Amino acid sequence: MRKLLPLLFPMLVFVSCAGNGGSTDTTTTPPPPQSWGDERLLAVLDAQDHRNTPALCAFLKDSSATVRAAAALAFASVQDSTAQPCLIEALSDANTTVRINAAFALGLVADSASLAELSKAADREKEQAAVQSMMESGFRAELGLRKHDATWFISYLQSGNRDVRTRSMQSLARLPKEELAPIANDILQAVAVEKDPTVRMFLVGALKSNATKELTNKLTDLALSDSLPMIRIAALRALGANKDKGQAAFFLDRLNDSDAGVQQTALEQLQLIEGPLNGDAIWKTAQEHADYSIKLPLYGLVMKHGSPETQLVCRSLMESLSHQDLGPYWNAALISAIGPTMAQDSLLVLLRSTRPAVERQAALEQWLVSFHEKLKTMEITTEGRDRWLAGFMQEVFSTRDAGLIAAVSEKLGEEDPSFLKFSLTEPTVSALRQALHPIRDLETLQYLDQAIAKRDGLPAPAHKSLPFNHPIDLARLRTLKQGQQYRITTTKGGIILALEPEIAPGSCVAFDSLVTAGYYNGKAFHRVIPNFVAQGGCPRGDGYGGMPWTLRTEIGPQGFVEGAVGLASAGHDTESCQFFIMTAAAPHLDGRYTRFAHVVSGMDVAKKLQVGDVMKRVERMP
């Protein structure tokens, strides 16, 4: 008997047929033909794009298995819980592909009752591929439906299914430290014997539980000498979870690692330590390091922890650098480093300027840092706090800059309702809404709505998808073949992507259209997190930009493994022009974001990317 996880499915010990839980997607066979030339499927696609559940349920009754399979998979993108009865019925379809797709889609919206139906379907299923699909879908649903303890997750190391092992260990690593502490020794033993790099990476991340000598020694050894950068990065993060200033010298030493991602991670952990730190040692390392992405943040730490004499020299050097144009991202890093010592009026001048958005964002952040420092030193009294902060908000709002307004509105979510009533008046809100584009500035409006709800004592507003506003160019879609390749020439080298229009037709058409229009040429990677993503394509360069249209979220069974390429979003059905490249597996993104391509070559380049690296040229290959 096949049952779903403890309550619902047994241990999943079969070997996955897909077997790509942590690897870059590659292929040595010609890509399959593109199927959107079939007129019958275009009707299914239209129903998917319009989130028309009744129409898709009707397509599940179609005489053509091809149409039924497409309709079943379409529900993975729609994610409408009212479709559960249709999908449960499709689990008994005569066609195996229909059953597999229905199981996948059902797993994304399952409740306990539908999960039980999935278990029954797995029991009666005869085709091994369908059994696997049903059990994997049930497992993913189970992860989201119920809270499980660390022992439950660690038990799945016995599974022979790579997808299950990967998901289990990532879920384990995301648990709070207190829940991991009781099984720290079990995790330590698992790290010693685990062979799969991705599973091992998550296990190392789960060693953040406590700072025992044995654990700290193991993590230090891994961070220092493991052959894989992904393991060294995971070890550094686990060490940093305790924010122990005794580790500062080690993090400083790791800035000399051969891998840029390891260096960035060591810097991040160093910045998280409250101190006091050895400012003179940091100054020495900063002077020796050639990379501005490391050097400038270290200067910022010197201004916090260095001796008065060292701080004076450091500030003088930074002021000299400020007269040069280092490029927007390094200019922003310089503002962040020198910002706490700048007058607030000077930061306001930067904020109001026409300088690149990323530099103005840095000025905004540093104004807030300076403001909080003045509160600590009583330079601004508690009574005068609201007046100062409200005045600053009005300065930001007066810029009518969507990114700055978004950043401030996000901060407003942390304020008391009484302050929000005083500062976020209806005339102010009305003026902001008139200045913001309802689609392009959606993320800003979401932050604003959250602050307004808190002001009014209401729960945070639920995410609502925008109305359908960007039809797929069907003529262009018919020209796209599965596996169509694109070359991204970056400042670090070349990356080649292959599109997946079979699963994400609208996203692929939009990407192809932007590429052929030259949109991505010159755009930067504005967000890079080692062992996670490199994200770029923002028209503003600070992550708050988009197009005056949105795309529908398109979900397929191939998940966010290393090398997957997805579209950034501000919630379901809000995708636009920003895309990200996965530099490690992140199964928690599956079912939430659109995957529309994968890296064919150049993963080594993708892993070297840093904030500010530019896409010199993005072009469609013959």
Residue in the block written with tokens 């996965």: 582
- How high is the pLDDT of residue 47? 98
* CATH code, 610: 2.40.100.10
Q: Given a cut of 60, is residue 263 above it in pLDDT?
A: yes
> What integer is the mean pLDDT of 410-420?
93
Model confidence band, residue 104 (pLDDT cutoffs 50, 70, 90): very high
Residue span of the structural domain in which 71 resides: 4-145
Q: Which of 111, 127, 145 is the last residue of a domain?
A: 145
- How high is the pLDDT of residue 582? 98
Q: Return phi, psi of residue 5, to 5°.
A: 5, 150
3-state secondary structure 454-479: HHCCCCCCCCCCCCCCCCCCHHHHHH
Q: What is the pLDDT of residues 362-373, one digit of tens each?
A: 999 999 999 998
Q: Given a cut of 50, is residue 18 above it in pLDDT?
A: no
Q: How many CA atoms, within 13 angstroms, populate the side-chain half-sphere of residue 174?
A: 12
- Name every residue whose Cβ is closer than 8 Å to that of residue 100 and which is 6 or more positions away in sequence: 129, 130, 133, 134
- How high is the pLDDT of residue 245? 86
- How high is the pLDDT of residue 464? 86
Percentage of the chain modeled with pLDDT above 90: 88
- How high is the pLDDT of residue 465? 86
> What integer is the mean pLDDT of 2-20?
41
Q: Given a cut of 80, is residue 204 above it in pLDDT?
A: yes
Picking from 76, 61, 151, 78, the residue whose alpha carbon sits closest to that of residue 106 is 76
- How high is the pLDDT of residue 376? 87
Q: What is the pLDDT of residues 42-84, one digit of tens each?
A: 999 999 999 999 999 999 999 999 999 999 999 999 999 999 9
Model confidence band, residue 29 (pLDDT cutoffs 50, 70, 90): very low
Q: How many CB atoms lie within 10 A of CB 532?
A: 18
Residue 456 included in any domain: no
Report in angstroms the alpha-carbon separations of 370 from 239, 345, 367.
Answer: 29, 11, 5
Q: How many CB atoms lie within 10 A of CB 485?
A: 17
Residue 550 included in any domain: yes
- How high is the pLDDT of residue 579? 98
Q: Given a cut of 70, is residue 12 above it in pLDDT?
A: no
- How high is the pLDDT of residue 127? 96
- How high is the pLDDT of residue 1? 37
Q: Given a cut of 50, is residue 110 above it in pLDDT?
A: yes
Residue 459 included in any domain: no
- How high is the pLDDT of residue 284? 96
What is the pLDDT of the chain when averaged over all its residues?
A: 93
Q: Given a cut of 80, is residue 5 above it in pLDDT?
A: no
Spell out where 457-608 has E strands. Answer: 485-490, 493-499, 525-529, 533-536, 564-567, 579-582, 595-601
Q: What is the pLDDT of residues 372-403, one digit of tens each?
A: 988 888 888 888 899 999 999 999 999 999 99
- How high is the pLDDT of residue 567? 98
Q: What is the pLDDT of residues 552-581, one digit of tens each?
A: 999 999 999 999 999 999 999 999 999 999
Q: Given a cut of 60, is residue 223 above it in pLDDT?
A: yes
Q: What is the pLDDT of residues 143-185, one digit of tens each?
A: 999 999 999 999 999 999 999 999 999 999 999 999 999 999 9
Residue 198 included in any domain: no
Model confidence band, residue 242 (pLDDT cutoffs 50, 70, 90): confident
> What integer is the mean pLDDT of 318-345?
94
* CATH code, 53: 1.25.10.10
Q: What is the pLDDT of residues 509-529, one digit of tens each?
A: 999 999 999 999 999 999 999
- How high is the pLDDT of residue 265? 98
The pTM of the full predicted model, rounded to 2 decimals, is 0.93
3-state secondary structure 341-353: HCCHHHHHHHHHC
Residue 188 included in any domain: no
Q: Which of 109, 130, 145 is the last residue of a domain?
A: 145
Q: Which residue has the higher pLDDT, 211 or 573?
A: 573
Residue 541 included in any domain: yes
Q: State the helix-helix crossing angle for 213-225 and 184-193, rounded to 10 degrees.
A: 30
Q: Which of 145, 180, 207 is the last residue of a domain?
A: 145
Residue 615 included in any domain: yes
Number of structural domains (the chain) is: 2
Are β-strands 533-536 and 525-529 bridged in parallel, bridged antiparallel, or unpaired? antiparallel
What is the rounded distance in angstroms from the CA atom of residue 617 to the CA atom of residue 494?
A: 10
What is the rounded distance in angstroms from the CA atom of residue 137 to the CA atom of residue 129?
A: 12
Residue 363 included in any domain: no
